[in-house]
Structure 1
């Protein structure tokens, strides 16, 4: 099923679900009954991978309510902390 957008001349935009290729040119508005014409828009063809979507949602939540750190980050298997070249000159504890 595909969601199609229709624009009522008196009310607002309406979203209606039809099978692909079966959407009519106009549907009656559920509020006022006027003929609502189909509004064309760009399709959403790209899908975001689940891992990327989870990171984006976490970043959005963190923007207004930062996450509180309760423990130190884990060390790598060898016991050494990875050193980034940009932070190599900073003092280490």
Structure 2
């Protein structure tokens, strides 16, 4: 189902839901009964951030052709561990 916009010449703009490709050129206004004509607008498309789209492409490529590794990845250097104040009250072994 898709939402289509119609503009009544007397009242307001209304939104009506129809199956895709079956929307008529005009519908009756629910308020006054006049013929509301269809308004064409840009589709509601969103742009995916480049980091997200790169991750999606990498996942799709990996599903079809998994990368073969010959060694384990390098470990990151361990930094200082943050200590939460509530952990100081826990019993020590």
TM-score (structure 2 length as normaliser): 0.52
Partner of 2:79: 78
Partner of 2:26: 26
Partner of 1:56: none
Asked which structure has the greater CA Rg, the reply is 2
Aligned counterparts of 2:16 and 2:48: Cα–Cα separation in 1:
24
Give the CA deviation at 1:48.
Answer: 5.9
**1:40-92 deviations in Å (ceiling 9; x for gaps):** 0000122668xxxxxxxxxxxxxxxxxxxxxxxxxxx6128xxxxxxxxxxxx
Aligned residue-pair number: 55
1:6-85 superposed matches below 5 A:
6-46=6-46, 78-79=79-80
1:33 match: secondary structure: coil
Q: CA RMSD in A?
A: 2.6
TM-score (structure 1 length as normaliser): 0.52
2:79 match: secondary structure: coil
The list of structure 1 runs, each at least 4 consecutive aligned residues, that deviate by more than 6 angstroms after superposition, is: none
Give unmatched runs, 5+ long, in structure 1: 50-76, 81-93
